[in-house]
Structure 1
Amino acid sequence: MSTKKQKSTTILTSQEQYQSCPRANLLRRLGAYIYNLLAVIALLMLATVIALVVVVIAEALSIIDTSAYPDVAGYLSNSLIFASYLAAVIIIFFAYFWSTARPNAWYESLAFTSAK
């Protein structure tokens, strides 16, 4: 009878896997900051378009009056509600993606592929 040598693999917890990952260098961090900045800019553009549509519809239904402003964008630029809305969009974006992020997901995939 032959005995097979089995590899002993230790299973690390998520915290141990996270701590064993190498730290990101400056270029990676700057890349992540630029990526987040571009994502937030795109999201703010979308949120602004939604706000513009809502104001145009509200003006057509005579809910609000924008006659004191040159256009709808002028009305929004002087609105504290609009500024608060954009701030809430930014906060919700980062809160959602930072709370659901899996920083060691790439490490787990490498660990599972190299163990095979």
Structure 2
Amino acid sequence: MFTSSLRLITRRTFSTSILLRQAEAKAAPQIQSSCAAGTPLNLKIKKSGNEPVALEDSEYPEWLWECLDKQKTDDQLKASDFLKWKKKQINKINTKKIKNNNFLSQM
């Protein structure tokens, strides 16, 4: 009985469906805009001219989608200007401390 369950476990461990699911999980999710192509954006700031409309996702530059990733922009800042990155981290820590102290003072 033990050997048959062991064979079943090893068979399932090396199944191709598990490998496919793991590969799908590791694949980066495709970022999509929240507006469908052709949707008016209500960003008209000049009296003359037409209302701007949303474009297809492929028509926007790649850097636009990358700026939404906070971890990537943080890593780029750390690599390019360490002192600026460190100052930003200290400001985040100080902000958390201030918010925590304000919360505790209200109790």
TM-score interval w.r.t. the shorter chain?
A: under 0.3
The structure whose residues are more often helix, as a share, is 1
| Higher RCO, Cα 8 Å, sep 6+ | 1
